[in-house]
Structure 1
Amino acid sequence: MGLSIGQVAERTGLSVHALRFYEREGLLADQVRRESNGRRVYTEDDVEWLDMCIKFRSSGMPLDTIRKYTDLVRQGSGNEQERLELLRSHQEHVATQLADLQECMRVITHKVTVYQQHLDSGDADCLWSGPPVARDNTSEAS
Structure 2
Amino acid sequence: MTYSIGQVAEKTGLSTYTLRYYDREGLMPFVKRAPSGRREFTDDNLDFLDLITCLKDTGMQLSEIRHFVELAMQGDATLETRLNIFKQQQQAVRDQIAQAKRHLAKLDYKVRFFTAACDAGTEAAVSGDCELPGQPIVIDESLRVKKAHPA
TM value normalised by structure 2: 0.76
1:54 pairs with 2:62: no
Answer whether contact 1:12 1:51 (CA < 8 A) is retained: yes
How many residue pairs get matched?
126
* Structure 2 partner of 1:66: 65
Higher relative contact order (CA 8 A, sep 6+): 1
Answer whether contact 2:71 2:82 (CA < 8 A) is retained: yes
Alignment RMSD: 1.7
Runs of 4+ in 1 over 3 A off after TM superposition: none
Answer whether contact 1:115 1:127 (CA < 8 A) is retained: no
Task: Using the TM superposition, give the Cα deviation of residue 36 of structure 1 relative to its aligned residue in structure 2, in angstroms.
Answer: 3.3
Unmatched runs of 5 consecutive residues or more in structure 1: 129-142
* Structure 1 partner of 2:28: 28
* Partner Cα distance (1:106, 1:7) in 2: 41
State, as a whole percentage, how many aligned pairs show the same letter.
35
Task: Using the TM superposition, give the Cα deviation of residue 87 of structure 1 relative to its aligned residue in structure 2, in angstroms.
Answer: 1.3
Unmatched runs of 5 consecutive residues or more in structure 2: 129-151
1:1-142 to 2 correspondence within 5 Å?
A: 1-28=1-28, 30=30, 32-119=31-118, 121-124=119-122, 125-126=125-126
Answer whether contact 1:26 1:67 (CA < 8 A) is retained: yes
